[in-house]
Amino acid sequence: MQKQVSIGLLGFGVVGSGVVKMIENHREELSQKLGCDVTVKHILVRDKEKQRDLPLHSPKLTTDPAEVLNDPDIDIIVEVMGGIEEARKHIRHALQNKKHVVTANKDLIALHGQELLEVASENHCDLFYEASVGGGIPVLRGLTDGLISDRIQEVMGIVNGTTNYILTKMDEDHVSFDKALGDAQNLGFAEADPTADIEGLDAARKMAILSRLAFSMNVELDDVETSGITDIALKDLEYGNQLGYVMKLIGFAKKENGSIEISVQPTFFDKKHPLAGVKNEYNAVYIKGEAVGETMFYGPGAGSMPTATAVVSDIMAVVKNMLLGITGKSNLIAGLDKEITPDERRFAKFYVRLHVKDKAGVFASISQLFHDKEISFERIIQRPASKNQLAEVILVTHQTSLANFQTTLEQLQEMESLESIQSYYRVEGVEKND
């Protein structure tokens, strides 16, 4: 039986240094749980001269990928360097050299996961990526192990810590978007370029990965309709509060009658909904299965040690498979045909904020338009707008199809009494079928 497993690490930043620290600090437990030792042999970095906190039994730092990828002693490559093309090239190289791979790289897995899983299986290697979604929360294993027996109907989650942190700070402490984003960057949650966080792309990548596993379909990034939080006004958060809602950037994936809808969008949640209480950088994924009903996975979605937990657990899963001689057998490649639900069959409630001319009969004409489209209102607020002669109207609709709602907005734009549609957001309630 193998007595030692050697790791080659690609990257020694926030996540990589956490992985090294965890393997050092948990050495005895790992050895006892696995029946063999795990050591990090080489670490690939960009800059060898950088000041770093190195562990006692320091692995060798290198800037030459071949030194790590071609070392015959290395069994598992852990890719925590980020980026797409270079990481993809190194992972393919590692798999072709019969080395197992663990990665935290959601950008890469969202774009090229299927291809890399195929290369892994062809080479009888494992490719695991638990840390790519939800940091330290074992949500991918929740889908692929714990809930594998069920038919998953819905996956809805707060899967980006940075945006959840920003929205919490704007809502509760009334700080500006820029200040909250700066704080998230200083705390290490945000990506080096936070555009992917705030524009919703990071969450879209995670939703593509989650949906692939939940529905066994080859979901691609383009299948995820995506909008971010950059345009959210403090005013909408305030009105949301009055209505008993809280705003979250939500990934939403649903399978109904064989077709799927996937989106990432700012969504108002009833404060009684379990996802409404998820604050700051925390993530949570709510999964609904036909047999199990409602489940929720909650925890830290980013950061050095939480993410390292997922990476080291993946390493341990590989080592167990190595010891059992079954590597390459548990790479789940999504195989079902994919069908995307058309807007006519996607249903939701919506919040809309309008500026209208402040004169008699205006509200009646707006109501008539919604009535003609068979959209009824659940809540209405009317206030004088800050600009002269205008009123601000906030409507919350009952359920309607996305197609019907969009046509209604287009017709609203043409009304003479409408000044502007200021904003509109999906609303998620707590009651069943609301």
Site residues for ligand NAP per CB under 6 A: 11-16, 44-47, 50, 80-83, 86, 104-106, 131, 135, 192, 302-303, 307
One character per residue 289-328, x = contact with ligand HSE (rule: CB under 6 A): ------------xx--------------------------
Report CA torsion sign: 261, 263, 265, 268. Answer: positive
Alpha carbon distance 338, 335 (integer Å): 9
Residue number with CB closer to ligand HSE (249 or 348): 249
If binding is defined by CB under 6 A, does position 81 make contact with ligand HSE?
no
Residue 398, token pair as written in the block:
């009952």
Q: What is the separation of C-alpha 403 from the centre of its chain, rounded to a whole number of angstroms? A: 26
Which one, of 50, 60, 122, 112, lies nearest residue 86 by Cα?
112
If binding is defined by CB under 6 A, does position 189 make contact with ligand HSE?
yes
Residue number with CB closer to ligand HSE (190 or 394): 190
Which of 107, 130, 202, 392 touches ligand HSE (CB under 6 A)? 202
For every residue of 309-320, DSSP letters joined together read HHHHHHHHHHHH
Alpha carbon distance 68, 6 (integer Å): 11
**Residue 194 C-beta: closest distance to ligand HSE, Å:** 7
**Residue 115 C-beta: closest distance to ligand NAP, Å:** 17
Contacts of 265 (CB under 8 A, 6+ apart): 200, 225, 226, 227, 249, 250, 252, 425, 426
Residue 430 phi, psi dihedral angles, 5° rounding: -115, -25
If binding is defined by CB under 6 A, does position 8 make contact with ligand HSE?
no
Using DSSP's 3-state secondary structure scheme, residue 324 falls into helix
Alpha carbon distance 55, 21 (integer Å): 7
206 is catalytic: yes
Decide: 202 and 106 in contact? Cβ < 8 Å: yes
Contacts of 257 (CB under 8 A, 6+ apart): 345
If binding is defined by CB under 6 A, does position 24 make contact with ligand HSE?
no
> Could you tell me which stretch among 53-61, 158-166, 218-226, 248-256 binds ligand HSE (CB under 6 A)?
158-166
Residue number with CB closer to ligand NAP (87 or 322): 87
**Residue 254 C-beta: closest distance to ligand HSE, Å:** 22
Which of 171, 197, 261, 392 touches ligand HSE (CB under 6 A)? 197
Decide: 189 and 162 in contact? Cβ < 8 Å: yes
In the list ligand HSE, ligand NAP, none, the entry touching 197 (Cβ below 5 to 8 angstroms by class) is: ligand HSE
Residue number with CB closer to ligand HSE (161 or 228): 161
Catalytic residue among 99, 106, 169, 206: 206
Which of 105, 162, 226, 327 touches ligand HSE (CB under 6 A)? 162
Using DSSP's 3-state secondary structure scheme, residue 223 falls into helix
Q: Which residue is nearest to ligand NAP (CB)?
A: 13
Which of 120, 190, 264, 391 touches ligand HSE (CB under 6 A)? 190
R_g of the chain, CA atoms, integer Å: 24
In the list ligand NAP, ligand HSE, none, the entry touching 80 (Cβ below 5 to 8 angstroms by class) is: ligand NAP
Q: Which chain residues interact with ligand HSE by CB under 6 A?
A: 135, 160-162, 189-191, 197, 202, 301-302
Catalytic residues: 206
